[in-house]
Structure formats: C-alpha cells, structure tokens
Amino acid sequence: MNSKKLESFTILLMVLGLIIVFFLSAPIIKMFVGVGSDTLLETLKDGEVTDSIWLTMKVSLWSTVFVLLTGVPLAYLIARYDFPGRSLIEAIVDIPIMIPHTAAGIALLTVFGNGSLGEFFGLFGIEFIGTEYGIMIAMMFLSAPFLINSAKDGFRKVDVKLEKVARTLGGKPLSVFFRITLPNAKKDIINGSLMMWSRGLGEFGAIVILVYHPLTTPILIYDRFNSYGLKFSAPVAAAMIFLSIIVFVIIRYVSSRLK
C-alpha cells in the first residue's frame, strides 16, 4: 500500500514537472522549427546581427568581470562578518531584482546622464549615453545580484574551521582566501557568473533608456519587429538563443570538469 502511494506520488511529481518543462521548452523549440536552419544560417551571416550579438556578449562579459572583482569581496564580507548595516546592504543588493527595468533605466539616466556622476566621468572622456559604457552599467545594475548572492551562498557553505586551521598554520588572511575559501566556493561563483552573464544578454528595458545605439541584440530584435514584423525579428531571436546556448553549454561543461 505504501509503495503504491509512493508510486502515485512520484507520477504526480513527474506530470507536474513535465508541464513546466513543456512550458519552458516549447517556445524555444517552436522558434527554431519555425525559422528553419537555412534562415538561421543566413541570419548569422548578416553583419548587423553578428555585430549586435558580439556587442551584447562582449559587454555582458565585461560587466560580469567587473562584478567578479567588486561583488565577490562584498559577498565574502556579508557571508563572514556581522557588522552594522549588513541587512541594509543585502537589501540594496536585492533591490534591482524587484524594480521594473525601465524604471531602473530612468534611475541610471538621472545619475549617469546629466547627473553629477555623469559629469565626473565626462572629465575622463567616459560617456554613458549612447555608448558601450551605458550598456555595461545597465547590465551590471540589473544582473549583479545574481552573482553576488550566489557567491555569498558559496562562501557560507565553506566551513569556517578550514580557514581557522589554515591561519593557525601561519596562513595570512589574503592567502587563506585565495587558497582555501575561494576554491571551495568556486562552483557557486561560476554558477552566479553564468547567471549574471546570461541575464545581461537579455537586458532590454534599462538599455533602451540609456543606449538605443549601438544596438544590442534585444534592441535589434525589438527594432526589426516594430519595423518589419515577426518574419524579420524571429530569425534574429533564434540566432541569439542558438549562440547563447552553445556558449552556455561549453561553460557549464568546463565548470563541471573543475575539481
């Protein structure tokens, strides 16, 4: 009787799981089937499309690298130290996930457009309106929480005793961090980096406020849909998804091979 109940429960879980798997996979499969391999290859030969895809992947990568250098130390501080304002900082990190992306774009525009920070960076020849720097800060603002929170969870999984033993053996804090803590948390950091990078690829709302040109792929898709309709925008979307999946699978494979 118990085994029958367990079997029924397992079947129920499978059915419910298959529903969401179908919901997530059907649009992507339909897009590739509808576009066709010939059209997809022709789209990948389109210079405007390849330029936009390269721009989107490149800037998303640079934004991820920047947050790796600045957000991972913050994640370690949050995970390891109890200090005044820690909850507030955690809330600040999470806020970009909650707000509408167009609202985020307006907020960034007020600060980095004609705001004081925009004027300050302008002294060094760095402009954010209509430049790759603008794309980068929009991607960072909305996708950084994925990397920071994942790194924070990874650091919390590392046994503090390992760090204490290393320090009693003469290891300096910086050395312990790079030789003990970071290697043990690397999978969560890699996963967070992948999440941030992939989230940056799809950013539209904040970027379109700050930077319409140069065209990232989401904006190019939107532009072609508005100008020419589904027939000309769907192949671009399929090409972006195709290349993103390839890169994502390669990075996942490489990270899974890391010990």
Q: Same domain for 68 and 153?
A: yes
Query: What are the angstrom distances between the C-alpha of 234 and each of 19, 28, 201, 237, 247?
Result: 25, 11, 17, 5, 20
In a domain, 247, yes or no: yes
Q: Same domain for 74 and 109?
A: yes
Specify the pTM.
Answer: 0.87
Q: What is the pLDDT of residues 36-90, one digit of tens each?
A: 888 888 888 888 999 999 999 999 999 999 999 999 999 999 999 988 999 999 9
The secondary structure of 184-248 as a DSSP string is HHHHHHHHHHHHHHHHHHT--HHHHHH--SSPPHHHHHHHHHHHH-HHHHHHHHHHHHHHHHHHH
Q: Same domain for 144 and 239?
A: no
Q: Is the pLDDT of residue 3 over 70?
A: no
Q: Give me the number of domains the chain comprises.
A: 2
Output the domain CATH number for residue 81.
1.10.3720.10
- Averaged pLDDT for residues 2-23: 85
In a domain, 92, yes or no: yes
In a domain, 99, yes or no: yes
Handedness of CA 10, 15, 17, 21 (dihedral sign): positive
For residue 247, what are the domain limits? 216-259
Q: Same domain for 150 and 74?
A: yes
Q: Same domain for 147 and 131?
A: yes
In a domain, 40, yes or no: no
Query: What are the angstrom distances between the C-alpha of 83 and each of 66, 72, 76, 149, 159?
Result: 25, 17, 13, 18, 20
**What's the full length of the chain, in residues?**
259
In a domain, 200, yes or no: yes
In a domain, 72, yes or no: yes
In a domain, 193, yes or no: yes
Name the nearest CA neighbour of 200 among 146, 133, 119.
Answer: 146
At residue 5, the pLDDT reads 66
In a domain, 33, yes or no: no
Q: What is the pLDDT of residues 117-161, one digit of tens each?
A: 888 888 888 889 989 999 999 999 999 999 999 999 999 999 888
Q: Same domain for 177 and 234?
A: no
